[in-house]
Homo-oligomer: A and B are copies of this chain.
Amino acid sequence: MVKAMDHHQAGDGGGVSLSEAEKTLDPATEREWAELRGLGHRMLDGIFDYMQGLKDTPAWREIPAETRSALGQEPVPRSGQGAEAAYESFLRDVLPYNSGNVHPRFWGWVQGGGTPLAMLSDMLASGMNPHMAGFNAAPTLVEEQVLRWMAELMGMPAGTTGLLTSGGSMANLLGLAVGRHACAGFDLREQGLRYGQPLRVYGSTETHSWLKKAMDLMGMGTAGLRVVGVDFQYRMNLSELRAAILEDRAAGYRPVCVVATAGTVNTGTTDDLEAIADLCAEEQLWFHVDGAFGALAYWSESLRPAISGMERADSLAFDLHKWGYMPFEVGAVLVRDGKKHREAFATGASYLTAMDRGPMAGGLRFAERGFELTRGFKALKVWMTLKAQGADAITQLIEQNVEQARYFASLVEASPELELAAEVPLNVVCFRYRGADDAQNQEILVRLQERGIAIPSGTTLAGRFALRVANVNHRSRREDFDVLAKAVVKIGREVMQEAAPDR
Which bucket holds chain A's interface residue count? Answer: 35 or more
A374 touches B124 (CB 8 A): no
B-side contacts of A396, CB under 8 Å: 4, 23
Asked if residues A328 and B377 are in contact (CB atoms below 8 Å), the reply is yes
Binary contact track A210-232/B, C-beta < 8 Å → 1, others 0 = 10111111111111100000000
- Since A39-B120, A358-B446 are in contact, a sample of 18 more A-B pairs with Cβ atoms closer than 8 Å, ordered by chain A residue number, is A33-B52, A40-B48, A41-B41, A51-B127, A72-B145, A76-B386, A77-B149, A80-B392, A81-B387, A98-B130, A123-B126, A132-B328, A170-B371, A170-B372, A189-B222, A192-B221, A218-B218, A359-B450
The smallest beta-carbon distance between A325 and chain B, in angstroms, is: 5
Partner of A145, one of B74, B80, B388: B74
Q: Which residues between 327 and 344 of chain A lie within 8 Å of chain B, taking CB atoms?
A: 327-329, 331
Return chain B residues, CB-CB under 8 Å to A139: 94, 98-99
Closest chain-B Cβ to A216's Cβ sits at a distance in Å of 4
Q: Name the residue of chain B whose CB is nearest to the CB of A220.
A: B192
The answer to whether A246 has its CB under 8 Å from any CB of chain B is no
Residue A376 CB within 8 A of the other chain: yes
A-B contact pairs, 25 of them (CB 8 A): A3-B390, A4-B396, A16-B104, A19-B477, A24-B397, A25-B385, A25-B393, A26-B474, A40-B44, A60-B359, A77-B390, A78-B392, A81-B390, A83-B389, A93-B138, A95-B124, A98-B130, A99-B139, A119-B127, A122-B122, A188-B221, A193-B194, A213-B347, A328-B377, A359-B455
Min C-beta distance of A446 to chain B, whole Å: 5
Indicate if the CB atoms of A388 and B81 lie closer than 8 Å. yes
CB nearest to A430 among chain B residues: B351
- Contacts A24-B397, A122-B126, A388-B81 given; does A44 touch B41 at CB 8 Å: yes
Cβ of A442 under 8 Å from chain B? yes
Q: In the complex, A118 Cα to B215 Cα: how many Å?
A: 36
Query: Chain B residues with Cβ under 8 A from A359's Cβ?
Result: 60, 99-100, 108, 449-450, 455
Contact of A115 among B26, B89, B388 (CB under 8 A): B26
